[in-house]
């Protein structure tokens, strides 16, 4: 008798259904993981609300993936260096391995990539293409990272997105170095992780910004190493950054807000010759006007960023294993799979009684 499992499936904007699928037969070069935790990304919320027009239906959401290898082919086990029972983080992209981007080691831009929880509809075999479910299929070309059992599912979930992106965007692409003044725009999961990464890199002062509703995020930003927090709805950010940097302004500004106004402010608070890292996703159709003359005259490096790579994730694992930061506090709300739609609404802050930083789904 074929084994079955449940997944939360987006069948239309703002309509999530719990559906049952057959577990696939596993061949020599693929596998199956049992999901331990699925983080909810802001882009999941956008797909749920219909803001991402390219979302295919029906779609099993979830590209922040932590689980245990349930079954795996012999070739796949050798290639990935894992065995049944191992806890793993699965990167959200399945690379082809043969296009020019893959050959050059830039696999996150693979021209033929498959995206777990983003691009593969659930009506395409073997159905289980996202982590909002009890199990997820592992296609050939997946990238897995084994993590110690001492690393909790909460921490592993944060490694697979917030902390890895913090390393990639602050240090690898933002160039944060010892003694740099850094402003992190936004105290969501990635913003908080970025504060800790900047602290690890020896930056200072570090200033984190947010809104009136971000009190918990402000508290964690200070705990993770920020020298100051700024409520941009009540305080003058330019004046604060100027005061903390003796008028020099910030060497690096990392914007993870997805707000066009925040990007414009980032240009104002960065020093001449400084770097602005733009990491906030604003949607497929949003235009964000910028005063480009200020970018020109200040010789600002405006760096767009997409996602982490293999090296950043490996560094993220090492940072977590050192246990210097209570990253698990970033996940403030957990929901069972059957309440996945409520979890998405919580992540969207639709319930005024719930002010989350990070929301996760725990299949049962």
The predicted structure's pLDDT at residue 286: 64
The predicted structure's pLDDT at residue 1: 56
* Residues 158/196, Cβ–Cβ less than 8 Å: no
Residue intervals in the chain for CATH 3.90.180.10: 4-146+326-362
Say whether pLDDT at 2 is over 80: no
Residues in CB range of 292: below 8 A, 6 or more apart: none
Q: What is the CA radius of gyration of the chain?
A: 20
Please give the full DSSP string across 75-101, using - where no structure is assigned. HHHHHHT--TT-EEEE-SEE--S-SHH
Residue intervals in the chain for CATH 3.40.50.720: 166-304
My answer on whether omega of the bond before 205 falls inside 30° of 0, hence cis, is: yes
Quickly state the pLDDT bin for 285 (edges 50, 70, 90): low
Dihedral sign (CA 230, 232, 234, 240):
positive
Neighbours of 353 (CB within 10 A): 5
Taking residues 80-86, what's their average pLDDT? Answer: 96
Say whether pLDDT at 257 is over 90: no
CA nearest neighbour of 238 among 269, 259, 203, 260: 269
My answer on whether omega of the bond before 132 falls inside 30° of 0, hence cis, is: no
The predicted structure's pLDDT at residue 282: 62
Q: What angle do CA 116, 122, 127 make, to 5 degrees?
A: 85
Say whether pLDDT at 254 is over 80: yes
* Residue range 316-340, pLDDT digits in tens: 999 999 888 999 999 999 999 999 9
CA nearest neighbour of 8 among 154, 126, 117, 125: 117
Assessment of whether the complete model's pTM goes beyond 0.95: no
Taking residues 44-63, what's their average pLDDT? Answer: 88
The predicted structure's pLDDT at residue 352: 86
Quickly state the pLDDT bin for 281 (edges 50, 70, 90): low
Burial of 3 (0-12, 13-18, 19+ CB in 10 A): exposed
In residues, how long is the chain? 364
Taking residues 20-49, what's their average pLDDT? Answer: 95
- CATH number for the region 166-304 comes to 3.40.50.720
Burial of 125 (0-12, 13-18, 19+ CB in 10 A): exposed
- What is the 3-state secondary structure of 181-230? CEEEECCCHHHHHHHHHHHHCCCCCEEEEECCCCHHHHHHHHHCCCCEEE
The predicted structure's pLDDT at residue 264: 84
The predicted structure's pLDDT at residue 364: 76
- CATH number for the region 4-146+326-362 comes to 3.90.180.10
């Amino acid at each position: 008798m074929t084994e079955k499992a449940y997944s939360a499936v987006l069948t239309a904007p703002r309509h999530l259904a719990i559906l049952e699928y057959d577990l696939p037969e596993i061949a020599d070069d693929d596998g199956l993981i049992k999901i331990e935790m699925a983080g909810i990304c802001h882009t999941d919320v956008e797909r749920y609300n219909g803001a991402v027009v390219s979302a295919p239906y029906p779609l099993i959401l979830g590209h922040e993936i932590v689980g245990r290898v349930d079954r795996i082919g012999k070739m796949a086990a050798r290639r990935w260096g894992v065995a049944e029972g191992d806890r793993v983080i699965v990167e959200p992209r399945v690379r082809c391995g043969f296009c020019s981007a893959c050959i050059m080691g830039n696999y996150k831009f693979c021209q033929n990539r498959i995206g777990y929880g983003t691009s593969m509809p659930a009506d395409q075999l073997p159905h289980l293409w996202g982590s909002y479910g009890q199990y997820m299929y592992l296609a050939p070309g997946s990238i897995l990272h084994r993590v110690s059992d001492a690393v909790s599912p909460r921490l592993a979930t944060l490694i697979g997105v917030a902390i890895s992106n913090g390393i990639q965007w602050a240090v690898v692409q933002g160039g944060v170095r010892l003694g740099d003044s850094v402003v992190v725009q936004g105290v969501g999961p990635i913003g908080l992780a970025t504060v800790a990464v900047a602290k690890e890199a020896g930056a200072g002062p570090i200033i984190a910004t947010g809104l009136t509703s971000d009190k918990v995020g402000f508290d964690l930003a200070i705990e993770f190493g920020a020298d100051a927090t700024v409520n941009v709805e009540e305080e003058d950010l330019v004046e604060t950054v100027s005061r903390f940097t003796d008028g020099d302004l910030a060497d690096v500004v990392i914007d993870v807000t997805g707000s066009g106004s925040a990007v414009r402010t980032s240009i104002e608070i960065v020093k001449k010759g400084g770097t602005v890292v733009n990491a906030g996703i604003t949607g497929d159709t949003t235009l964000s006007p910028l005063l480009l003359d200020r970018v020109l005259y200040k010789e600002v490096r405006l760096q767009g960023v997409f996602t982490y790579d293999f090296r950043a994730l490996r560094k993220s694992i090492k940072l977590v294993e050192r246990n210097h930061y209570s990253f698990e506090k970033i996940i403030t709300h957990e929901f069972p799979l059957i309440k996945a739609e409520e979890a998405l609404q919580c992540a969207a802050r639709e319930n005024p009684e719930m002010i989350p930083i990070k929301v996760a789904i725990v299949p049962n």
